[in-house]
Amino acid sequence: MESNIKSVGILTSGGDAPGMNAAIRAVARAGIFNSMKVYGIYRGYKGLISDEIEEFKTNSVSNIIQQGGTILKTARSAEFMTEEGRRIAYENMRKHGIEALVVIGGDGSLTGAGIFAGEYNIPVVGLPGTIDNDLSGTDTTIGYDTALNTIMKAMDKIRDTATSHERLFFVEVMGRNCGYLALNSAIASGAEAAIIPEISIEKDQLGELIEQGFRKSKSSSMVLVTESDVIGGAMKLAERVKTEYPQYDVRVSILGHLQRGGSPTAQDRILASRMGIAAIQALMENQRNVMIGIRENEIVYVPFKRAIKKDREISEEMLSVLRISSI
Ligand code: ATP
């Protein structure tokens, strides 16, 4: 199909996620395959405003599918949140003849993309690039599977020391206000529990956990905790245990930024490749303001407004898997 769109810009924005490079590669190759000019925009919206834009050829994205991070760099841009910033960004797009954008990022990046597209009537398609898996309308996001595997490997190591010292460990993982990473890595690593924001709103998970009592025969206990204002983080929970339940020898491990790095898993590379190619396909079908999602292994188009809704519910079935498997 011959597309009306002759040129497309790609940028990565917000927090980096493993698999962003695989997505950049797929978008660039699919654009060129469909006779478009492809431009790499460096440092997200910041680079769109400061005109850090370069034309990509097929070999501009060679040898990157296996690399973590993003070759386009990423940044946060306060200027893009202003009308004046977005005007400059639009002028730069015009200057280079860029007709459409593919934005790879999280909910903030997609929110900005929607506003920009509305103001200037530009076709914009988003790809969900975030380890948090906190976007609605898609089963998973680029980077989530890699982060899950990274956490699982770290947990296996922490278990060795937790068992040797018969300790209770709180391990804090990313996710902001979304407990998917904590819940699924708790299941994958055989942890005793996950303390996640979705549940903390309703009840005191720590109190309940301690009152139930960890199984006596267990020589160690590991609890995954989502970094979140709702919970207050693993440190706060450990402080509470020290004062309220001094019988536990408690330690904290905050995994931090190591969760964002590393070579993407096969699953993330394949997901990013499929989504990247689907983004160009969507532009050719005159789709606008949609994020590419995946539902039941099929590519779907999710309107930005729906994608950023923050109405993702935690699976009762997964909660029950963790509860039953950790008795
Ligand atoms: P992550 O979930 O990994 O943190 P993110 O995409 O949500 O990624 P944010 O820092 O929230 O990361 O947003 C990235 C950038 O998107 C911001 O720095 C800003 O330039 C742009 N952006 C976010 N919200 C808006 C908005 N309301 N209007 C315009 N631009 C926005």
Q: Where in the chain is the domain with CATH 3.40.50.450?
A: 7-143+264-307
Largest CA distance in the chain: 70
The C-alpha atoms of residue 323 and residue 87 are separated, in whole angstroms, by 52
Q: Where in the chain is the domain with CATH 3.40.50.460?
A: 145-261
CATH class of the domain at 7-143+264-307: alpha beta
- The rounded Å distance from CA 66 to ligand 1 centre is 26
Record: fold of 145-261 = Rossmann fold (3.40.50)
- The rounded Å distance from CA 181 to ligand 1 centre is 20
Q: Which residue has the tokens 């204002």?
A: 229
- 176-190 pLDDT per residue, tens: 889 999 999 999 999
pLDDT score recorded for residue 218? 63
Q: Identify residue 246 by its one-letter amino acid code.
A: P
Polymer length in residues for the chain: 327
From 12, 107, 109, the mutation candidate for ligand 1 (largest count of ligand atoms within 8 A of CB) is 109
Query: What average pLDDT does the segment 261-287 reach?
Result: 98
Q: Which residue has its alpha carbon closest to ligand 1 atom 16?
A: 109
Q: Which residue has its alpha carbon closest to ligand 1 atom 20?
A: 77
Q: Which residue has its alpha carbon closest to ligand 1 atom 19?
A: 77
Query: What average pLDDT does the segment 93-98 reach?
Result: 98
Q: Identify residue 36 by its one-letter amino acid code.
A: M
- The rounded Å distance from CA 106 to ligand 1 centre is 7
pLDDT score recorded for residue 79? 98
Q: What is the DSSP string of 228-295?
A: -TTTTHHHHHHHHHHHH-TTS-EEEEE-GGGGG-SPPPHHHHHHHHHHHHHHHHHHHTT--SEEEEEE
Q: Which residue has its alpha carbon closest to ligand 1 atom 25?
A: 112
- 210-222 pLDDT per residue, tens: 777 655 556 678 9
- The rounded Å distance from CA 64 to ligand 1 centre is 25
Paired with 298 in beta bridges are 295
- The rounded Å distance from CA 236 to ligand 1 centre is 28
For the CA of 134, the nearest atom of ligand 1: 2
Q: Which is higher by pLDDT, 200 or 258? A: 258
Q: Which is higher by pLDDT, 156 or 246? A: 156
- The rounded Å distance from CA 202 to ligand 1 centre is 28
Q: How confident is the model at residue 84 (pLDDT cuts 50, 70, 90)?
A: very high
From 46, 81, 289, 291, the mutation candidate for ligand 1 (largest count of ligand atoms within 8 A of CB) is 81
Q: For 93-97, which contacts have Cβ atoms below 8 Å and span 24 or more sequence positions?
A: 93/9, 93/48, 93/122, 95/51, 96/7, 96/9, 96/39, 96/53, 97/6, 97/7, 97/37
From 11, 13, 48, the mutation candidate for ligand 1 (largest count of ligand atoms within 8 A of CB) is 13
pLDDT score recorded for residue 312? 83
- 16-72 pLDDT per residue, tens: 999 999 999 999 999 999 999 999 999 999 999 999 999 999 999 999 999 999 999
Please give the angle made by the CA atoms of 271, 74 and 36, to the nearest 5 degrees.
60
What stretches of the chain adopt beta strand conformation (E)?
7-12, 37-41, 53-56, 100-105, 124-128, 168-173, 193-195, 221-226, 250-254, 290-295, 298-303
The C-alpha atoms of residue 73 and residue 279 are separated, in whole angstroms, by 20
pLDDT more than 70, % of the chain: 96
Tokens of 187: 């299941």
H or E segment and range at residue 46: helix 44-49
pLDDT more than 90, % of the chain: 82
Question: Quick check: 322 pLDDT over 70?
Answer: yes
Question: Quick check: 223 pLDDT over 70?
Answer: yes
Question: Quick check: 1 pLDDT over 60?
Answer: no
From 50, 102, 111, 227, the mutation candidate for ligand 1 (largest count of ligand atoms within 8 A of CB) is 111
Q: What is the DSSP string of 85-113?
A: HHHHHHHHHHHHT--EEEEEE-HHHHHHH
* Pocket of ligand 1, beta carbon within 6 A: 13-15, 45, 76-77, 80-81, 105-109, 111-112, 115, 130, 132
Question: Quick check: 295 pLDDT over 90?
Answer: yes
Helix 316-325 × helix 180-188 angle, to 10°: 30
Catalytically active residues are 132
For the CA of 86, the nearest atom of ligand 1: 29
Q: How confident is the model at residue 3 (pLDDT cuts 50, 70, 90)?
A: low
Q: H-type helices in 97-232, by residue range?
A: 107-120, 144-165, 180-188, 197-200, 205-212
Q: Which residue has the tokens 């990022």?
A: 105
- The rounded Å distance from CA 88 to ligand 1 centre is 17
Query: What average pLDDT does the segment 119-132 reach?
Result: 97
Task: Tell me, yes or no, if the pTM score tops 0.85.
Answer: yes
Q: Which residue has its alpha carbon closest to ligand 1 atom 26?
A: 112
